[in-house]
Structure 1
């Protein structure tokens, strides 16, 4: 889906870091950046119907203006050649950012916030967007190695195909390699039938490992043809997918996963593997929902009231 990169800001250091990352992403993709601030009046001052920001010289308007101006300036300092627009939207942050995702190619948010995202701990905004958003969602956290590879969690599920494509495109844009990682446990991984049923489980592990390698290669085969310049490293790990990906993220520039899966991620819906990464990864995390689950590009009503400069 074509569209700007949208970054949510609230004046916190975390959201400003998200602006920097989003600006670099916009520069890589050659697209516009849209800085969005969600604004809610204190409950005792909320009038019925659409609300303005108040008088032109009002304290609230000035504070919001400074917040957004700082974010825009940060973006332009990081990527001077990127077109930067901004929007101040009156509404609850979750609703506002979900609506923004309908026309975005990527939504970027910080891992912690305040102001427009007041009271939302890590997981609230991120999980809501990765569950209901209409485009991939990046949560900026950790201290990534900008030259590090794009780490891809692979489980072979149809739902994960969009994540594979995103990871390869991102690696191509960054000029880095892609590390495709598949994690398995003896209780969940498919294994080749043993020649001797009495064979101890420890002796079966080489066969189990061998059975995982074709799954990993098959999952990325088509993408390698479409992205021949991207070098791919295959990694099969025995262990929990969450722990394996978190550990591997220490040396990554970005980690990409689907919202749900099977195989190495058996039975893990968003809130387990994905949520664990949102809380503990050492680099930014992108969660990509499958096309069948979200209908990217579909247009819906924007329930938030818009004010300010909407680009």
Structure 2
């Protein structure tokens, strides 16, 4: 968890190109402001998932999210020369709500303009839009 006295930028990471761009932007901003970056990925069971045998075992959903987060953060860390601390966090729940909760005490929330799951984005409303409307801190939406 975060230290309330420490400057923090929360970034939503889902493996999409726009979330990678969001993480890169956040690292640059953190280098300028002295903040740390908290890269957050949310995972949940799809609405169509069956406990009797879905597309993969339940524990693999979190493992897949963890791998995606680690891949993106590792890549951004290799590409940047900024001395910025990037913490990684995997949380269960709907992406927008997870990010809103994670950014409750952050100075900034950074999200990509489009992530994975465009069908659900159309059906439920985009994560970036919901974050921009409901976050308790400023929100930056980054395009890929």
Shift of 1:147: 4.1
Rounded to whole Å, the distance in 1 between the matches of 2:119 and 2:85 is: 28
Q: Which fold has the larger relative contact order, with Cα–Cα distance below 8 Å and residues 6 or more apart in sequence?
A: 2
Q: Please say if 1:152 is aligned against 2:11.
A: yes
Q: CA deviation at 1:284?
A: 0.6
Query: Secondary structure, in 3 states, of the residue corresponding to 2:115?
Result: coil
What is the total number of aligned residue pairs between the two structures? 134
Matches within 5 A, 1:23-102: none
Deviations 1:65-108 (A, max 9, x none): xxxxxxxxxxxxxxxxxxxxxxxxxxxxxxxxxxxxxxxxxxxx
User: Structure 2 residue aligned with 1:183, among 37, 42, 48?
Assistant: 42
Report matched runs for 1:110-125 at 5 Å: none
* Number of the residue aligned with 1:215: 68
CA deviations on 1:198-221 (whole Å, 9 max, x unpaired) are: 8667x9332221121110011122
Q: Normalized against structure 1, the TM-score is what?
A: 0.39
Structure 2 unaligned residues grouped into runs of 5+: none
Hey, what's the Cα distance between the residues in 2 that align with 1:149 and 1:159? Answer: 20
User: Counterpart in 2 of 1:251?
Assistant: 105
Pairwise CA RMSD: 2.6
Does the Cα contact within 8 Å between 1:168 and 1:227 map onto a contact in 2? Answer: no
Query: What secondary structure does 1:187 align onto?
Result: coil
Q: Post-superposition shift, 1:237?
A: 1.2
Supply the distance in 2 between the matched residues of 1:160 and 1:252 (Cα, whole angstroms).
Answer: 18
Return structure 1 stretches of 4+ with deviation > 2 angstroms.
145-148, 198-201, 203-207, 265-269
Report what 1:166 is aligned to.
25
TM-score, normalization: structure 2? Answer: 0.80
